A and B are shown apart, each in its own frame.
Chain A
Amino acid sequence: MSQVFHRSTNIWSKVSIVLGLAFVTFLAWIVVSLSWSGYVTGQSVTVDQPVQFSHAHHVGSMGIDCRYCHTTVEESPFANIPPTKTCMNCHSQIWTSAPILEPVRASFRDNTPLRWTRVHDLPDFVYFNHSIHVAKGVGCVTCHGRVDRMPLMLQENSLQMSWCLNCHRNPDQYIRPRDQVFSMTYERPANDPDFGKRLVTEYKIADVKQLTSCSTCHR
């Protein structure tokens, strides 16, 4: 009998080829989409902190300015995490016995720093400079989101290169007046198309060639 296969194999052979191709495509899709996912980027993932510090409370309700704690943001590449001293300025007066603040008091007492877990963590080969962004009208909210609504701090954006490039390629769509940089609630005028462009010229913001040169961020 020279007939090796059953009738049905005609269908099966064709179907399996199609399925096989589909499966490979699927795998590729998985891998690619994984690299964009919050699992890899840490986007919108909350992390444990030694103290359950709530920006929502301090910024949202109390309306404390960003710079009260993050003092160096305007002059340094690095927006500092406040020293325990800063916390104690108030908390030596109020909530002096709140159990939640014990780590802070302990730190101040035994002079041992708090060990916060980094939320916005760029790779070591990326050199981000807060001071210049603040100086050129990039609002805190633009990258960090509405921290005044974050009971626990989380990473609003992916912080991936493609995300950075959105703004470095067309800053006019993102920047705001300098006096609004630290505002949580600022809205760009909707009806003014070249509002951003005017700011770009006014603030002498570097052109796109410069902003997208590799050494601008990598060195």
Chain B
Amino acid sequence: MINPKPATYEPAPLIEPGHTFGSITDKIGGVVLTTKQPLSWIIVVSIGFMIMGMLGMAVTWLLLKGTGIWGVNIPVGWGFAIINFVWWIGIGHAGTLISAILLLLKQGWRTSINRFAEGMTIFAVMCAGLFPLIHTGRPWLAAYWLFPYPNSMSIWPQFRSPLIWDVFAVSTYFTVSLLFWYVGLIPDLATLRDKAKLKPVKVAYGMLALGWRGSARHWQRYEHIYLLLAGLSTPLVLSVHTVVSFDFSIGIIPGWHATIFPPYFVAGAIYAGFAMVLTLAIPLRKVYGMEDFITMRHLENMGKVTLLTGMIVGYGYISEAFFGWYSANKYEGFMILNRMFGPYWYMYWTLIFCNIITPQALWFRKVRTTPMGLFAVAMIVNVGMWLERFVIVVTSLHRDFLPSSWGMYYGTVWDWMTFIGTIGMFVTFFFLFVRFLPMISIFEMRTMAPAAKMKESEGH
């Protein structure tokens, strides 16, 4: 099913020459089945775990004291929590995009990155999902009042609220991503089952593999639904960030109430996501010596996508500014001026630097093909995308309609602990995944092996 596009110029190959089915299997499976891990892994995971503990502390204090330990106030009712939520959700999107949309577009180069990109999606959505819950004043009620269930009050959720749409969108997104990820894992789990030496390990992977044995009949149905899932995830991933953007565009606050938000948010999400994939892929391939599978070609392509989506996001900023002026609406006009020259001007201009200026470096093939360069750009974009959400949430709220209610917002130490804490949670989960599951789809890599080539008459 999967073939690399006929290349017009001589691109780096998707898989370095000389690999056989076996070598691929051993190389990737070996990472999981080995008994000892690189020191770097141990350090990273333990640090991540400590930071995760900090998250635990911050959340506990929050539950005890209330949302007031954060910087949120009136007029700025939403702060870090929602910023982080949107940021994480956005990051999640790239995973689905790579595994679903690029699959539909028959982009062969997705194969070696989709597995950990999907992992990234799942953990990012977990981090994201935490925030809408804990940002509420009474999480212990929000935890279930936001879902429709028969109750003794005969009261139901209010389905006109974008927050309810969020609940459904995010939970659906999480479920589907998880399914997609797991389905993709089944054949590899079978491989690990057969490859493992120790009985318990065999049993563990065996149970997860559901007794997969590579039967042609199974493969046919498998391929069938894998394609269907991809087809379902594609509109889903677009819808999720659209819905997230509704949280703002349904509101009437100048700077929120904008029709451009859905496409602009989706682009931003993919932008942030690819930046994060690069952030993860570049160290990974180095540490685990996966350069053969995650080649320059992959990095370069991702660089290109980043550049493209970056331009779309830039267009978003420009049109926001343009309509601030063109609308001739005094509130809109003031909003954009306030962003540029108001008390939070430094946030806005840093954002412009991170998200519009920096990615321009990717026009140069030199930058796209130097891992360090790419990594630097990706990091800056990650920061920039967080700033974007800060600018949207805070600078819109802090000066809305009535000058009398204008105010300022600053995150507290607890805000920061919670935010950084989720990064720790993400890192921990991600590296545990790298340890116990194949970070690259083995069975799909096999299809890339030279041995897999068949004559057109026989293969496809």
Tell me if chains A and B make direct contact, with any CB pair below 8 A.
Answer: yes
Bound CA span A161–B155, Å:
9
Bound CA span A41–B151, Å:
13
Smallest Cβ distance from A83 to chain B, in angstroms? Answer: 35
Does A49 sit within 8 A of B, measured CB to CB?
no
Bound CA span A160–B154, Å:
9
Instruction: Let me know if A4 and B152 touch, CB within 8 A.
Output: no
Does A213 sit within 8 A of B, measured CB to CB?
no
Instruction: Let me know if A161 and B152 touch, CB within 8 A.
Output: yes
Instruction: Let me know if A161 and B153 touch, CB within 8 A.
Output: yes
Does A5 sit within 8 A of B, measured CB to CB?
yes
Bound CA span A42–B104, Å:
59
Smallest Cβ distance from B47 to chain A, in angstroms? Answer: 36
Does B148 sit within 8 A of A, measured CB to CB?
no
For B150, the chain A residues whose CB sits under 8 A away are: 32
Instruction: Let me know if B153 and A162 touch, CB within 8 A.
Output: yes
Does A81 sit within 8 A of B, measured CB to CB?
no
Instruction: Let me know if B153 and A160 touch, CB within 8 A.
Output: yes
B194-227 with Cβ < 8 A to chain A: 194, 199, 202-203, 206-207, 210-211
For A10, the chain B residues whose CB sits under 8 A away are: 211
Could you give, for residues 137-170 of chain B, a 1 whenever the CB lies within 8 Å of some chain A CB and a 0 otherwise? 0000000000001111111000000000000000
Does B399 sit within 8 A of A, measured CB to CB?
no
Does A106 sit within 8 A of B, measured CB to CB?
no
Could you give, for residues 151-190 of chain A, a 1 whenever the CB lies within 8 Å of some chain B CB and a 0 otherwise? 0000000101110010000000000000000000000000
Instruction: Let me know if B193 and A162 touch, CB within 8 A.
Output: no
A122-150 with Cβ < 8 A to chain B: none
Nearest A-chain residue to B151, judged by Cβ: A35
A-B contact count (CB 8 A): 32
Bound CA span A10–B211, Å:
9
Bound CA span A162–B153, Å:
5
A contacts with B: majority SS: helix
Smallest Cβ distance from A42 to chain B, in angstroms? Answer: 13
Interface size on B, residues (CB 8 A): 16
B152 partner, pick from A2, A5, A13, A35, beta carbons under 8 A: A35
Instruction: Let me know if A4 and B154 touch, CB within 8 A.
Output: no
B207 partner, pick from A2, A13, A35, beta carbons under 8 A: A13
A32 partner, pick from B149, B153, B207, B210, beta carbons under 8 A: B149
Most buried by A among B151, B154, B193: B154
Does A36 sit within 8 A of B, measured CB to CB?
yes
Instruction: Let me know if B152 and A158 touch, CB within 8 A.
Output: yes
Instruction: Let me know if B155 and A4 touch, CB within 8 A.
Output: no
Could you give, for residues 71-85 of chain A, a 1 whenever the CB lies within 8 Å of some chain B CB and a 0 otherwise? 000000000000000
Smallest Cβ distance from A162 to chain B, in angstroms? Answer: 4
Instruction: Let me know if A5 and B153 touch, CB within 8 A.
Output: no
For B152, the chain A residues whose CB sits under 8 A away are: 35-36, 41, 158, 160-162
Bound CA span A2–B211, Å:
12
A57-99 with Cβ < 8 A to chain B: none
Smallest Cβ distance from B105 to chain A, in angstroms? Answer: 35
A-B interface, 7 closest residue pairs, ranked by CB to CB distance from nearest? A161-B153, A160-B152, A162-B154, A4-B206, A4-B202, A162-B152, A165-B154
- Write the residues of chain A forming the contact surface with B, with a CB cutoff of 8 angstroms: 2, 4-5, 10, 13, 32, 35-36, 41, 158, 160-162, 165
- Write the residues of chain B forming the contact surface with A, with a CB cutoff of 8 angstroms: 149-155, 193-194, 199, 202-203, 206-207, 210-211
Given A2-B194, A162-B151, 15 other A-B residues pairs in contact with their CB atoms under 8 A: A4-B193, A4-B202, A4-B206, A5-B211, A10-B211, A13-B207, A13-B210, A32-B149, A36-B152, A41-B152, A160-B152, A161-B153, A161-B154, A161-B155, A165-B154
Pick 29 A–B contacts, CB within 8 A, sort by A.
A2-B194, A4-B193, A4-B199, A4-B202, A4-B203, A4-B206, A5-B203, A5-B206, A5-B211, A13-B207, A13-B210, A13-B211, A32-B149, A32-B151, A35-B151, A35-B152, A36-B152, A41-B152, A158-B152, A160-B152, A160-B153, A161-B152, A161-B153, A161-B154, A162-B151, A162-B152, A162-B153, A162-B154, A165-B154
